[in-house]
Amino acid sequence: MLANRANDRDDRAMRDVKLTRGIMKNANGSCLAEFGDTRVLCTATIEDRAPAWRKGSGKGWLTAEYAMLPAAGNKRTRRETNGRNGRSMEIERLIGRSLRNVCDLNAMGGEVTMTIDCDVLQADGGTRTAAITGAWVAAYDAFEMWKTAGRIKTNPLFGQVAAISVGLVEGRLMLDLDYEEDSNAEIDMNVVMNAKGEIVEIQGTGEQVSFSRDRLNEFLDVAEEGIKVLLAAQKDVLGIE
């Protein structure tokens, strides 16, 4: 029984969130996103090439890659050197879609590709939500660099995006689940939202449990509070309004 959450956290409270910019010397943009003990290193690289199916379109592309270091979790996992695993591919597709949602691909300065690498240094639940939240900061900075380089005039990110998890754990509605909570959750939901408080992506799953419309709306109320914290942290670290 999870009488108390770690650090006596309130059920609807976030863990400590810390976004650190510019921690990589070489990447165009980078951000270390920490949600409690979860640490994801996000780096954004812009390259002067486009995927084959993009040729001649004049548009840019934005994609993401996600991986966990073998020792990130509480049990060593294998590197994906011999084929990808489904979970990683699912997550990196989610990150890519979320960022493209707020990026004007026509305004990236031509047929260029931004790749956002999200590498989980330490995993304690919520790696995909930390990845999306940090990826936005890394992408923002990389596009600013692109502006400085004279390749674009305006940052093609026309809005903010951040993500948080909510879940039902032993009957309690909780925000921002850590690994132990997540492992015991009856319902697990990830919500990606923008600054208008609108939904960009929602993924909710019951583990042998289903949920009503009312429950769904409760989840979203709670998620919305978490998203506000994250959007503020993003602006704060970038020093923007």
Binding site, residues? 87, 126-128
| Among the listed residues 24, 61, 29, the one whose alpha carbon sits nearest the alpha carbon of residue 45 | 29
* Residue 15: closest CA among 40, 31, 35, 32: 35
What is the closest distance, in whole angstroms, from the C-beta atom of residue 37 to a second copy in the complex? 5
Q: How many whole angstroms separate alpha carbon 189 and alpha carbon 42?
A: 22
Output the known binding site for phosphate: 87, 126-128
Distances (CA, A) of 186 to 30, 179, 213: 34, 14, 16
| Minimal distance, residue 229 CB to a second copy, in Å | 19
What's the closest the beta carbon of residue 4 comes to a second copy, in angstroms?
19
User: Which residue's CB is nearer to a second copy, number 63 or number 110?
Assistant: 63
Pairing of strands 38-47, 61-68: unpaired
Give the shortest CB-182-to-a second copy separation in angstroms: 15
Minimum gap (Å) between residue 3 Cβ and a second copy: 22
Give residues in contact with a second copy (CB under 8 A): 24-27, 30, 37, 41, 43, 45, 47, 65, 67, 69-76, 79-84, 86-87, 89-90, 92-93, 97, 100-101, 115, 117, 119, 121-122, 124, 193-194, 196-213, 216-217, 220
CB atoms within 10 A of CB 179: 17
If you search the block for the tokens 């980078």, which residue do you land on? 30
- 101, 200 Cβ separation under 8 angstroms: yes
Among residues 17 and 66, whose Cβ is nearest to a second copy? 66
Cβ neighbours around 238 below 10 Å, total:
17
3-state SS, one letter per residue, for 18-48? EEEECCCCCCCEEEEEEECCEEEEEEEEEEC
